[in-house]
Amino acid sequence: MAQSQQSIDTIKAGYTFSSPSIQLGVLMADGNPVPGVPINLSYSMLNRHGLVAGATGTGKTKTLQLMAEQISKAGIPVFAADIKGDLSGIAIPGELSEKLQARVQGIGQNWVAAGCPTEFYSLGGMGTGVPLRATVSSFGPLLLSKVLGLNETQESSLGLVFQWADANQLLLLDLKDLRQVLMYLTSDEGKATLKGIGGLSSATVGVILREISAMEGQGADVFFGEPEFDTADFLRTTGDGQGIISMLELPNVVDRPQLFSTFLMWLLADLYHALPEVGDVDKPKLVFFFDEAHLLFNGASKAFLEQITQTVRLIRSKGVGVFFVTQMPTDVPDSVLAQLGSRVQHALRAHTPNDAKALKQTVNTYPTSEYDLAQLLQNLGIGEAVVTVMNPSGAPTPVAWTRMLAPTSLMGPMNPEWLSSGVAQSAMNAKYGQAIDRESAYEILSARVAEAPAPPVGTAPAAPARAPKAEKPAPSVIEELSKNVLVRQVARSAASQLTRSIFGTLLKRR
């Protein structure tokens, strides 16, 4: 059915804003682009979050690149993860081919090759970029449980370990610190300290230790340690006012997907704690692209999902926008999906019954329109999407079949030698490049064990002589409470526990 002029006019009015915007693309009508009807997204709605979805090969990555470019040019810092290794080209100008020339002419795009100011990072040095590290203590028990794949019982036990370490002022900086604390708390000397509040099962500790060893075997242990990354460094702009794009290189994400996804959640939690409330702003302080979002939610506990939902809901008021990038909208839980104001939906496939069900669910999330969305979503071309966003008043815009603009930076990986040279000269590399290892739980507990007196070789400890029981007055309530291990533990850890919040992450004072 041909699209009516009235429908086209309605869509044009719905995406015409008086406030500054980025342009996603142009309207498609009856299979042809309409250059006079741009599809825009207001700066002020970027922190209302969004979703970029679509099957493999439909153009999700190029949409991420396009949005990151325009957001950066608007003076807004960007964080994005390079899952497939082809986003590093965003730092250098693109190359105009015949195919690209035909595309940009067809949509009326004034295409000028341009790169963006970009800083490259890697998890703990697992790649070329500047190493990003976090301490185990700062990461917190809930996030670490997700990385280690622990069940709820094991997660609860790990929380107890963090509580004890906080109360005893033992720094958990890296995995060897955590291992030493676990071993100490199940030793003859240490197990009594937790007896009053349930203690730790040797079997549970064994599972946690095995998972830690597996993580170390995959090289992920280098992520935990110091210097810990200050997320404020993601909020930088250049001297000419462009937002710096922080690009996280993830060459080995397949080996440890939980580490990648959970680290990104740590970043969000840390930003939430560090940033002041700003409410609704003309443009956000940072836009965060969460690629391969399904990795975050796979196998997540109920408590973890609740904290994700809470973080996404609350971080908007801190001036941070979050865009989840994934294959199917159903990869994102309903509680999170309901908070995503902008939708850029590339083509979906319905090859299986589950695919057909997901397609139907996707269609039901869109406002009413003249489109047969179930049919349209299966027939979109590469670089086309069905779009609806929030206008500056907070109302959804009309559903629009859109041909996306082409990125102006290189649509492919940067030359590896250029990348290495740029990282080596970076000020961030000077700040975070060299790992440090200061005194922490490992050194303190190792020294404590070494100083403990050992019984003489070949002798058994003598049994203490029994003294006659003496009558003594009944203890007061205060004395009874002071003997209770649980009460003492809570009293010692009260101040420390106030420094942990969402995900059990350690709050920092900046």
Confidence of residue 254 (pLDDT cuts 50, 70, 90): low
**Distance between CA 377 and CA 157 in Å, rounded?**
46
**Distance between CA 436 and CA 171 in Å, rounded?**
14
Report phi then psi at 357, rounded to 5. Answer: -65, -40
pLDDT at 474 over 80: no
CA torsion angle 89 93 97 102 (round to 10): 110
pLDDT at 509 over 60: no
Q: Quick: pLDDT tens for 436-458.
A: 999 999 999 988 877 766 555 55
Q: How high does pLDDT run on average in the chain?
A: 86
Of 64-78, 113-127, 288-302, 376-390, the range with the lowest mean pLDDT is: 288-302
**Distance between CA 49 and CA 331 in Å, rounded?**
16
Give the pLDDT of residue 475.
47
Of 74-78, 417-421, 463-467, the range with the lowest mean pLDDT is: 463-467
Reported CATH class of domain 5-133+229-260+268-304+312-425: alpha beta
pLDDT at 484 over 50: no
Give the pLDDT of residue 214.
87
pLDDT at 469 over 80: no
Give the pLDDT of residue 495.
39
Residue 381 backbone class (left: φ over 0; alpha: ψ -120 to 50; beta: rest):
beta
Q: Which residue has the tokens 């990003």?
A: 132
**Average confidence (pLDDT) over 210-228:** 88
pLDDT at 476 over 90: no
Q: What is the DSSP string of 207-246?
A: HHHHHHHHHHHTTGGGGBSBSPP-GGGGG-B-TTSPBPEE
Query: Beta-carbon neighbour count of residue 368 at 10 Å?
Result: 7
Of 348-352, 463-467, 479-483, the range with the lowest mean pLDDT is: 479-483
Give the pLDDT of residue 84.
79
Confidence of residue 225 (pLDDT cuts 50, 70, 90): very high
3-state secondary structure 129-171: CEEECECHHHHCHHHHHHHHCCCHHHHHHHHHHHHHHHHCCCC
Give the pLDDT of residue 250.
80
Q: Quick: pLDDT tens for 291-305.
A: 888 888 887 778 888
Rounded to a whole number of angstroms, the distance between the first and last alpha carbons of the chain is 59
**Distance between CA 278 and CA 275 in Å, rounded?**
9
Give the pLDDT of residue 210.
95
pLDDT at 226 over 60: yes
Give the pLDDT of residue 502.
63
pLDDT at 473 over 90: no
Three-class SS of residue 315? helix
Give the pLDDT of residue 197.
63
**Distance between CA 205 and CA 350 in Å, rounded?**
45
**Distance between CA 251 and CA 213 in Å, rounded?**
21
**Distance between CA 198 and CA 201 in Å, rounded?**
9
pLDDT at 496 over 80: no
Round the CA-based radius of gyration of the chain to a whole number and report it.
Answer: 27
Three-class SS of residue 423? helix
Query: Rounded to 5 degrees, what angle do the CA atoms 287, 291, 294 make?
Result: 125
**Distance between CA 148 and CA 140 in Å, rounded?**
12
Confidence of residue 483 (pLDDT cuts 50, 70, 90): very low
Q: Which residue has the tokens 């939430």?
A: 272
Give the pLDDT of residue 457.
57
pLDDT at 89 over 50: yes
More confident residue, 447 or 491: 447
**Average confidence (pLDDT) over 163-171:** 90
User: Exposed, middle or buried by CB within 10 Å (0-12, 13-18, 19+), for 183?
Assistant: middle
Report phi then psi at 365, rounded to 5. Answer: -90, -5
Give the pLDDT of residue 466.
47
**Average confidence (pLDDT) over 101-113:** 96
Query: Rounded to 5 degrees, what angle do the CA atoms 248, 269, 159 make?
Result: 115
**Average confidence (pLDDT) over 229-234:** 94
**Most confident stretch, 206-220, 402-416, 462-476:** 402-416
Domain ranges of the chain: 5-133+229-260+268-304+312-425, 134-225+491-502
Give the pLDDT of residue 477.
38
Q: Quick: pLDDT tens for 327-376.
A: 999 899 999 999 999 999 999 988 888 888 888 988 988 888 889 999 99
Give the pLDDT of residue 200.
84
